[in-house]
Structure formats: structure tokens, C-alpha cells
Amino acid sequence: MKYSTEGQDHPEKYLPYSSGQGLPPGESYFSYTTFFRIGLLFAIMHVTALIVSTLAPNGNANFFGLVYLIGMFISAFALAKN
């Protein structure tokens, strides 16, 4: 059962979704590999921010937070390098 009439396709119907914005032609797009690496980088940064912000303000927790931040910076460098 059809609820609408047959019409012409919009010229931009098969373009990739870009948040509702009309991207200028010829602009380079991210590959899936680059997209997921950036997503993983932001996920690591957000989890690090959540963990470090919930640590108790004593000596042992400060050391753990510093180690965690160093690990995050190493992970971010490794993701951004390749």
C-alpha cells in the first residue's frame, strides 16, 4: 500500500549524510578508519576526564591520576601519529 505519489529523486539523495549541512563539492571526506580513530581518541579523552575528576583529593589518588593522564597522552599520541 502506497501512501505517497511517485516523484523525482532529489539530486542530493544519495550523498553521504553531513548533519544536514550542504558540504561544498570537492571537499575531502574522512574514511571510516580515520573517523573511528578520531572517535576512539575522543572516547579515551572523555573517560580519562571522568576518572580523573572523580578521584579523591589525597596523595595516592593524585599519583594514580597522573599515571592515568600520562597513559592517555601516550594513547592520544599513538592514535594521532598513524
pLDDT for the residue 59? 74
What's the distance, Cα to Cα, between the start and end of the chain in Å? 51
Residue whose C-alpha cell reads 539530486 in the numeric block = 11
pLDDT in tens, 15-74: 666 666 666 666 566 677 878 888 888 998 899 889 888 888 877 888 888 888 898 889
Q: What's the rounded Cα separation, in Å, for the pair 74 and 81? A: 10
- Tell me what pLDDT residue 36 has: 86
pLDDT higher than 70, residue 2 = no
| Cβ 52 vs Cβ 64: under 8 Å | no
Residue 76 pLDDT: 86
- The answer on pLDDT for 1 being more than 60 is no
Surface-to-core class of residue 34, CB atoms within 10 Å of its CB (0-12 exposed, 13-18 middle, 19+ buried): exposed
Mean pLDDT, range 74-79, rounded to an integer: 86
